[in-house]
Amino acid sequence: MTSPADSSSTRFTSETKTVLDFERVTLAYGDFTVLADLSMSVRASEVVAVMGGSGSGKTTLMRAATGQLGVKSGELKVFGHPLSGIGRVELERLRQRMGVLFQHGALFTDLDVFENVAFPLREHTRLNEAEIADKVLHNLEAVGLRAAAHLKLSEVSGGMARRVALARAIVREPELVFYDEPFAGLDPISMGVAARLIRSLSDKLGCASVVITHDVPESFEIADTVYIVGQGKLKASGSPESLNESTDPYVRQFLDGAPDGPVAFDYPLTDAFEKWCQTKGVKP
Ligand SMILES: Nc1ncnc2c1ncn2[C@@H]1O[C@H](COP(=O)(O)OP(=O)(O)OP(=O)(O)O)[C@@H](O)[C@H]1O
């Protein structure tokens, strides 16, 4: 495993605020352990990419960080607050400081583009109409969709909808933003725009960005630190430059996109599957 990014390769000092901290965390669904003994920390202004094969636990990690899934062991802190044993009200207060771009957008199909982006402002702030319009149009402009504000969701393309979701995730200027597959379904130009937008938000607003992605070139261009998960654990972490030099077979296969190697394609055999096979009378 490569060592975590050394501070000389990033723009942070040791005093830069840690906003997300996994300390030897194990995440599981019942008896099924997804990631064991994972340590990872994210600081203000940092862009962190979390990469790994399908089913390696990237979304699970985000669910834990947003308090949707408890940790099995270890300690998880958000904005310095441990999440274990946290009350609903306090968790909600922490969540207010986070933004999430969901993998499947989760937009409201019966609202127009403007109202989709305005939604979090209407729900969680007391801004007046003029302030809302100003913020929404500013964010739509950032994703190149100012002039699409009036369109219904049914009138925009899949890639445009992804950009609307991106504008909505950042409209409240959160301190910590999770992007689940932000480049999926985007054409190469929009991909570059989205990547640069994520980087510039972290630079300008000082927010921490956690980008869950399979996309190596885009994320390596903007990330300060990359974490690669697989085989139930953290396989490697470091700056894009240090990972590019890694000789670890898992890291190499993942970065080079080679079809054969240690990156699992098949979902692992479990007791639950074997039991299911018995009920079906088929071989595992
Ligand atoms: N609610 C759940 N209950 C049980 N197992 C789950 C649940 N959600 C996910 N899993 C399992 O946890 C593992 C990790 O899933 P996760 O969605 O975190 O992977 P991922 O790395 O985000 O994958 P992808 O890149 O394909 O989206 C998978 O094996 C998945 O089947």
Give exposure, 252-274, as e/b (b: 16+ Cβ within 10 Å): bbbbeeeeeeebeeeeeeeeeee
Pick the residue whose CA is nearest to atom 11 on ligand 1: 55
Long-range contacts of 268-274 (CB under 8 A, 24+ apart): 270/32, 271/31, 272/32
Average pLDDT, the chain: 87
Pick the residue whose CA is nearest to atom 10 on ligand 1: 29
225 Cβ closer than 6 Å to some ligand 1 atom: no
The alpha carbon of residue 64 and the mean position of all alpha carbons in its chain are separated, in whole angstroms, by: 12
Report the separation in Å between the CA atom of 177 and the middle of ligand 1, taken as the mean of its atom positions. 20
Quick one: pLDDT at residue 4?
A: 41
Residue 11 pLDDT level (bands cut at 50, 70, 90): low
Residue of higher predicted confidence among 33 and 272: 33
Residue 69 has pLDDT above 60, yes or no: yes
The secondary structure element, H or E, covering residue 73 is strand 73-78
- Check: CB of residue 223 under 8 Å from CB of residue 49: yes
Residue 249 pLDDT level (bands cut at 50, 70, 90): confident
168 Cβ closer than 6 Å to some ligand 1 atom: no
> What is the per-residue DSSP string for 92-107?
HHHHTTEEEE-TT---
Report the separation in Å between the CA atom of 55 and the middle of ligand 1, taken as the mean of its atom positions. 5
Count other C-beta atoms under 10 Å from residue 145's C-beta. 22
276 Cβ closer than 6 Å to some ligand 1 atom: no
Atom of ligand 1 nearest to the CA of 212: 22
Residue 13 pLDDT level (bands cut at 50, 70, 90): low
Q: Which of 24-28, 61-65, 102-106, 231-235 has the lowest mean pLDDT?
A: 102-106
Report the separation in Å between the CA atom of 29 and the middle of ligand 1, taken as the mean of its atom positions. 9
For residues 167-187, give the mean pLDDT.
88
Quick one: pLDDT at residue 283?
A: 86
For residues 94-115, give the mean pLDDT.
87
Q: Which amino acid is at 131?
A: E
Atom of ligand 1 nearest to the CA of 29: 4
Residue 44 has pLDDT above 50, yes or no: yes
Enter the DSSP assignment of 48. E
63 Cβ closer than 6 Å to some ligand 1 atom: no
Distance CA 255, CA 185 (A): 20
Strand-pair category, 81-82 with 73-78: antiparallel
- pLDDT tens, 184-221? 877 888 888 889 889 988 888 788 999 999 888 899 99
Residues 6 or more apart from 275 whose CB is under 8 A from it? none
Pick the residue whose CA is nearest to atom 28 on ligand 1: 55
Quick one: pLDDT at residue 150?
A: 95
**Which stretches of 96-248 are DSSP H helices?**
113-124, 129-142, 158-170, 188-205, 216-222, 240-244
Residue of higher predicted confidence among 213 and 262: 213
Residue 1 pLDDT level (bands cut at 50, 70, 90): very low
Quick one: pLDDT at residue 270?
A: 83
For residues 169-186, give the mean pLDDT.
88
Distance CA 207, CA 203 (A): 8
> What is the per-residue DSSP string for 219-234?
HHHH-SEEEEEETTEE
The side-by-side arrangement of strands in the sheet containing 73-78 is 32-43, 18-29, 73-78, 81-82
Quick one: pLDDT at residue 149?
A: 94
Quick one: pLDDT at residue 268?
A: 74
Quick one: pLDDT at residue 9?
A: 42
Quick one: pLDDT at residue 265?
A: 66
- pLDDT tens, 141-163? 888 899 999 999 989 988 788 88
Sign of CA dihedral 239, 244, 250, 254: positive
Beta-bridge partners for 234 = 229
Pick the residue whose CA is nearest to atom 8 on ligand 1: 60
Report the separation in Å between the CA atom of 28 and the middle of ligand 1, taken as the mean of its atom positions. 10
For residues 260-279, give the mean pLDDT.
80
